[in-house]
Amino acid sequence: GESVGLHLPTLSVQEGDNSIINCAYSNSASDYFIWYKQESGKGPQFIIDIRSNMDKRQGQRVTVLLNKTVKHLSLQIAATQPGDSAVYFCAETIRPPSGGSYIPTFGRGTSLIVHP
């Protein structure tokens, strides 16, 4: 898994396995979380998001779980495919207490390698 601000870890899985990518976010006041996928040489793409008033959200083959007690976010990918190989980033966004701009903060990402 990864922690916002630490070095890039790597997760290797076999095609067809389920993958779990972890993220430990830093700010207990964060209200909104997003997972992005970045393929080599490209910009990040949105995968799924979750608000702080939710514990779980499901998309197509992906599920995001949020544990606010321990400030932990995870991305589960079902039946992982070679096309899922990429770097995955979590981003947290904080609502400013006195107004102002919402600034997403990114972790360093986890590299997912899917072996055929």
Rounded CA gap, 54 and 43, in Å? Answer: 27
Return the closest-CA partner of residue 13 out of 111, 86, 113, 87: 113
Contact by Cβ (8 Å): 82, 17:
no
- Binding residue (CB under 8 A) for other proteins from 29, 31, 54, 79: 31
Determine, following the binding rule CB under 8 A, whether residue 103 of this chain makes contact with other proteins.
yes
Determine, following the binding rule CB under 8 A, whether residue 32 of this chain makes contact with other proteins.
yes
Question: In the complex, what is the shortest distance from the CB of residue 115 to other proteins, in angstroms, rounded to a whole number?
Answer: 21
Query: What residues between 42 and 101 interact with other proteins by CB under 8 A?
Result: 42-46, 49, 51, 89, 91, 93, 95, 101
Question: In the complex, what is the shortest distance from the CB of residue 66 to other proteins, in angstroms, rounded to a whole number?
Answer: 14
- Please return the burial class of 106, using the count of CB atoms within 10 Å of its CB with bins 0-12, 13-18 and 19+: middle
Determine, following the binding rule CB under 8 A, whether residue 11 of this chain makes contact with other proteins.
no
Contact by Cβ (8 Å): 66, 50:
yes
Please give the residue ranges that form the binding site for other proteins (CB under 8 A).
4-5, 7-8, 31-32, 34, 36, 41-46, 49, 51, 89, 91, 93, 95, 101-104, 106-109
